[in-house]
Structure 1
Amino acid sequence: MIRFLLRFIGMWLLAGAFVALVLDGVRSIASSTLVMTPLGVTWLATSETSLAHTQAFIETNLSPGVWNGAMVPLLEAPLFAVLGVLGLLLILIGRPKAR
């Protein structure tokens, strides 16, 4: 059951990555320049308070270095790449055992 759930969520994340890639492609064609929407911009537009709470939680409980060293580059990465990698990881973790 858990494996199915991991694969199911992974497929939804891959679908989201594809949608983000198509949207970036359409924006790139319309502006005649390469456009890649970062994860941080999307998260900020979706839920500004959860981003602020996450930053405060990481800086308080772990360290500000973790936020600057790990989270800032992740938030600057293209949304389609982050969703795609996370989706692939979940699918690989949830794959059936080899017989």
Structure 2
Amino acid sequence: MIRFLFRFVGLWILAGAFVALVLDGVRSIASSEIVTTPLGVTWLATSPDSLTRFQSFVETRVSAGVWETLVVPVLGAPLFVVAGVLGLLLMLIGRPRAV
């Protein structure tokens, strides 16, 4: 049951990554240059309070260095890449056992 849930959520996240890729592609065609939307920009536009709470959580509970070296580059990566990797990881975790 839990494997199905991982595959189900992973598939939805992959679908979202595809939508983000298409939107970036349309914006790139319209502006005649490569345009990507970073994860941080999307998160800030969607829920700025949760982003600031996540930042304070990481800086106080883990380390400020982790925020700068690990989280900031991920927030700067294109949304479709981050969502695609996350979706693929969930799909791999939920794959059926080999017989």
Q: Same fold (TM over 0.5)?
A: yes
Moved over 6 A (4+): none
* Deviation readout 1:37-92 (Å, 9 max, x if unpaired): 00000000000000000000000001100000000000000000000000000000
Counterparts of residues 4-43 of structure 1 (less than 5 Å) = 4-43=4-43
TM-score with structure 2 setting the length: 0.99
Which consecutive residues of structure 1, in runs of 5 or more, have no partner in the other structure? none
Residue type matched to 1:24 in 2?
D
State the superposition RMSD in angstroms: 0.3
Counterparts of residues 39-50 of structure 1 (less than 5 Å) = 39-50=39-50
Q: Which residue matches 2:79? A: 79
Size of the alignment, in residue pairs?
99
Which consecutive residues of structure 2, in runs of 5 or more, have no partner in the other structure? none
Q: Which residue matches 2:59? A: 59
* Deviation readout 1:11-57 (Å, 9 max, x if unpaired): 00000000000000000000001000000000000000000000000
TM-score with structure 1 setting the length: 0.99
